[in-house]
């Protein structure tokens, strides 16, 4: 558990300190001195009596009590040093920047665990090993630069990679992004990203704690903890954006269903972030741009005004925003619109984008912003203003900065001339503002923020599903893929509508089944895994003679165990499935069937159990959502029934963790009904 000795130590010792600032132990000392650590600072270096002007000791035995120890020594010496400091110097916080531990080999992993045992025995905390360190407003205990301005009005930043933390800060600082606390957790021997986030949640204080959290994650060791504390912080009013690296593929594996082929660790991460309300990013620039959006006032609504003195950037921003679902509405004719136009130079446009020409002045910008704030039906503004370098434009940026403070609607500043008027941009940033030098990156970041659903309260089972009844069915099953009668029982318990089906093992049974269900019917082989690939699905069987013929045809297929006679359904093909991912639980996937799932991989993921709001958000996020609603005179489906089926499946999985893979493909849906046509369920007890 993180403690105050790590965050606000009154004394720090650097073990392995050096006068050579090109060495980690030397640079840590320099950073602590340069950034005015106010407590007692000591060094351990057997060859020096002073290191950069601070007292140096040959051994930790000579030290007084010390709150925080930073180790920059070879890995093999760290265990004894930590032990001595914890036992004799009452040290309660450790940062090990040294490498050569679990990232190297198994022996290094064992050494890590031995250190953790000592740390926990003494109720201390450990960051690292193999990290760059920690920065708080009290101390800059890192061996790297840059060291950003540290303020509670900035971001809390937690990174699993030290080098990546540096690069992300280098991306954010020129945009005006400020930081509150920076944690580089390295190997996370004791404290990982989830643990630091948990501490930030448990100690969160409205108006005092940073409200923006940025995460760079390489391994999610505790999805439940990440979900719990991320969603808790967001419900308290925080904003969280994260990069999860290394999740593009779960590795090659044989999959016997579409769900198994589509689901990967990446789908699980996507589902986790979606449920938690975390904005997922894929690169440094995207992460820091999203963070900049968080630093602005929140956009409530979907209508933006674009104010520009350059046509091209305005067009590109319009495209990026509308591609993401936001609207750039035309400014309706009104007395206020006409009045504004008179205040601008001839040739200006008060449509949307609002173009006040390359010669536009600070005064004119103020008039436009006032009109957007008070008169026009928009929810926010993006202001594009650069310079060819002919003259300073600080007065324009001063007006913009002032309006950003007093306007209730958010204003997103796009100041692209970071070279031509860099002094003016720096002056603008010095007032605590952020800048978005690239309008397209801003457009994509803003739409991503707007399209990320908010976390919901814990799902309540509204399906009426009985856990005991589900488990009674599961208890009687064998491992492996289940026969139709088991699937039918589970679907009926969950309330998942399905086509009428009967299993036949003789010709007469097939005829009776078809007559009972009613023609036309579908006949499917039972046994082979991929029915269609072996010609095991016969559609539109219309009479008894055809039933007899196709029954014998299907029984000639190798490994056939029986024939399924099913009701013919019609409508759009839908897909629904889930797999059980270790640590994450069941990942539910939905989308359109056919080429949309097989070729385009147009699926949305969620973690079971799901609420109706979560399931609806999944469906609405599909690229094919317009088709599902009905498009260009093509009939759509009953969206709410599809959403309800997704929720019912998620609760079935909640009560049957033995189901490791389920694939309902297809569901056939229209405006009236949605029916499960074919399904596979694999159970492992």
- Inter-helix orientation angle 639-654/612-620, to 10°: 120
Can you say whether residue 611 is alpha, beta or left, with left for phi > 0 and alpha for psi between -120 and 50 degrees? Answer: beta
What confidence tier does 250 reach under pLDDT thresholds 50, 70, 90? very low
Residue 463 CB coordination number (10 Å): 20
pLDDT in the model for residue 16: 97
The pLDDT tens digits of the residues spanning 228-241 come to: 999 999 999 999 99
Return the closest-CA partner of residue 667 out of 496, 492, 502: 496
DSSP 139-197: EEEESSS----EEEEEEEEEES-HHHHHHHHHHHGGGT--EEEEEE-TT-SS--HHHHH
Say if pTM beats, i.e. exceeds, 0.85.
Answer: yes
pLDDT in the model for residue 247: 62
Residue 517 has pLDDT above 70, yes or no: yes
Instruction: Compute the half-sphere exposure of residue 130: CA atoms within 13 Å on the CB side of its CA.
Output: 19
Contacts of 32 (CB under 8 A, 6+ apart): 12, 14, 41, 139, 140, 141
pLDDT in the model for residue 632: 77
> Nearest 5 degrees, angle CA 599-CA 604-CA 608?
135
pLDDT in the model for residue 77: 96
**Rounded to 5 degrees, what are φ and ψ at 384?**
-105, 120
Rg (CA), the chain: 31
pLDDT in the model for residue 293: 98
How close are the terminal C-alpha atoms of the chain, in Å? 36
- Helix (H/G/I), strand (E/B), else coil: 283: coil
pLDDT in the model for residue 248: 54
What tokens were used for 611?
A: 């609420």
pLDDT in the model for residue 434: 97
Section 245-261 average pLDDT: 48
What confidence tier does 635 reach under pLDDT thresholds 50, 70, 90? confident
pLDDT in the model for residue 390: 81
- Can you tell me the distance from the alpha carbon of 93 to that of 106, in angstroms, rounded to the nearest whole number? 25
Least confident of 12-21, 97-106, 450-459: 450-459
- Can you tell me the distance from the alpha carbon of 348 to that of 352, in angstroms, rounded to the nearest whole number? 11
Section 236-251 average pLDDT: 80
DSSP code of 498? Answer: B
- Can you tell me the distance from the alpha carbon of 295 to that of 293, in angstroms, rounded to the nearest whole number? 5
- Under 8 Å between Cβ of 182 and 135: yes
Between strands 212-217 and 150-159, the pairing is parallel
What confidence tier does 664 reach under pLDDT thresholds 50, 70, 90? very high
Residue 423 has pLDDT above 70, yes or no: yes
pLDDT in the model for residue 529: 65
**In the chain, % of residues over pLDDT 90:** 84
Q: Which is more confidently placed, 336 or 635?
A: 336
Residue 428 has pLDDT above 90, yes or no: yes
Q: What is the mean pLDDT of the chain?
A: 92
Residue 258 has pLDDT above 50, yes or no: no
pLDDT in the model for residue 114: 97
Contacts of 624 (CB under 8 A, 6+ apart): 591, 592, 596, 602
Instruction: Compute the half-sphere exposure of residue 576: CA atoms within 13 Å on the CB side of its CA.
Output: 28
Section 337-345 average pLDDT: 95
The pLDDT tens digits of the residues spanning 490-504 come to: 999 999 999 998 999
- Helix (H/G/I), strand (E/B), else coil: 16: coil
- Helix (H/G/I), strand (E/B), else coil: 358: coil
Residue 264 has pLDDT above 60, yes or no: no
Section 474-497 average pLDDT: 94
What tokens were used for 422?
A: 């860099």
pLDDT in the model for residue 535: 84
What tokens were used for 416?
A: 């692209």
Q: Which domains does the chain have, with CATH numbers?
A: 4-130 (3.40.50.720), 148-290 (3.40.50.261), 297-433 (3.40.50.261), 500-567 (3.30.1490.20), 572-683 (3.30.470.20)
**In the chain, % of residues over pLDDT 70:** 97
Contacts of 156 (CB under 8 A, 6+ apart): 179, 180, 181, 182, 183, 200, 209, 210, 212, 213, 214
pLDDT in the model for residue 257: 44
Residue 285 has pLDDT above 60, yes or no: yes
pLDDT in the model for residue 265: 75
């Amino acid at each position: 558990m993180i403690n105050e000795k790590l965050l606000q130590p009154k004394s720090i010792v650097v073990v392995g300190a050096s006068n050579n600032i090109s060495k980690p132990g030397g640079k840590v000392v320099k950073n602590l001195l340069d950034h005015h650590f106010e407590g007692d600072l000591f060094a351990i270096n057997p060859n020096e009596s002073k290191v950069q002007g601070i007292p140096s000791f040959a051994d930790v035995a000579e030290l007084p009590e010390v709150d925080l120890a930073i180790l920059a020594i070879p890995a093999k010496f760290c265990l004894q040093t930590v032990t001595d400091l914890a036992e004799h110097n009452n040290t309660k916080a450790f940062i090990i920047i040294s490498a050569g531990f679990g990232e190297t080999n198994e022996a290094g992993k064992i050494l890590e665990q031995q250190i953790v045992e000592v740390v926990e025995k003494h109720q201390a905390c450990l960051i690292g090993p193999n990290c760059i360190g920690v920065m708080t407003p009290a101390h800059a205990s890192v061996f790297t630069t840059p060291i950003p301005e540290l303020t509670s009005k900035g971001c809390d930043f937690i990174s699993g990679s030290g080098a990546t933390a540096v690069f992300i800060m280098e991306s954010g600082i020129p945009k005006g992004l400020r930081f509150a606390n920076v944690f580089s957790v390295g190997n996370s021997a004791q404290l990982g990203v989830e643990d630091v986030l948990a501490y930030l949640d448990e100690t969160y204080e409205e108006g005092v704690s940073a409200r923006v959290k940025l995460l760079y994650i390489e391994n999610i060791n505790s999805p439940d903890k990440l979900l719990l504390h991320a969603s808790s912080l967001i419900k308290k009013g925080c904003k969280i954006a994260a990069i999860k690296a290394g999740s593009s593929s779960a590795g090659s594996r044989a999959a016997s269903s579409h769900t198994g082929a589509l689901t990967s660790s990446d789908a699980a991460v996507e589902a986790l972030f979606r449920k938690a309300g975390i904005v997922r990013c894929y690169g440094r620039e995207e992460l820091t741009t999203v963070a900049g959006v968080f630093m602005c006032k929140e956009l409530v609504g979907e209508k933006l005004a674009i104010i520009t003195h350059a046509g091209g950037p305005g067009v590109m921003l319009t495209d990026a925003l509308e591609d993401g679902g936001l609207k750039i509405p035309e400014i309706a004719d009104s007395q206020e619109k006409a009045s504004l136009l008179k205040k601008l130079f001839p040739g200006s446009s008060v449509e949307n984008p609002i173009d006040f020409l390359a010669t536009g002045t600070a005064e004119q910008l103020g008039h436009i912003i006032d009109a957007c704030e008070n008169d026009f039906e928009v929810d926010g503004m993006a202001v594009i203003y650069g310079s060819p370098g002919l003259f300073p434009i600080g007065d324009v940026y001063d007006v913009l900065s002032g309006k950003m403070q007093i306007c209730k609607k958010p204003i997103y500043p796009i100041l692209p001339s970071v070279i031509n008027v860099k002094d003016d941009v720096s002056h603008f940033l010095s007032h605590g503002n952020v800048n978005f030098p690239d309008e397209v990156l801003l457009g994509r970041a803003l739409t991503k923020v707007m399209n990320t659903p908010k976390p919901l309260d814990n799902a309540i089972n509204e399906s009426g599903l009985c856990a005991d009844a589900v488990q009674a069915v599961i208890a009687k099953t064998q491992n492996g893929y289940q026969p139709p009668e088991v699937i039918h029982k589970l679907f009926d318990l969950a309330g998942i509508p399905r086509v009428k089906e009967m299993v036949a093992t003789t010709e007469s049974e097939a005829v009776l089944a078809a007559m009972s269900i009613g023609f036309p019917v579908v006949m499917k082989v039972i046994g082979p895994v991929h029915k269609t690939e072996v010609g095991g699905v016969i559609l539109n069987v219309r009479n008894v003679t055809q039933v007899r013929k196709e029954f014998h045809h299907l029984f000639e297929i190798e490994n056939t165990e029986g024939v399924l006679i099913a009701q013919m359904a019609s409508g759009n093909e839908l897909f629904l499935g889930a797999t059980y991912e270790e640590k994450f639980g069941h990942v539910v996937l939905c989308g359109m069937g056919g080429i949309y799932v097989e070729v385009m991989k147009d699926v949305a993921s969620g973690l079971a159990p799901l609420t109706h709001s979560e399931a609806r958000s999944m469906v609405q996020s599909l690229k094919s959502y317009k088709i599902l609603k009905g498009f260009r005179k093509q009939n759509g489906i009953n969206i709410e029934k599809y959403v309800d089926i997704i929720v019912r499946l998620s609760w079935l999985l909640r009560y049957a963790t033995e189901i490791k893979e389920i694939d309902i493909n297809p569901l056939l849906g229209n405006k009236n009904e949605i029916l499960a046509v074919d399904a596979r369920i694999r159970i492992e007890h």
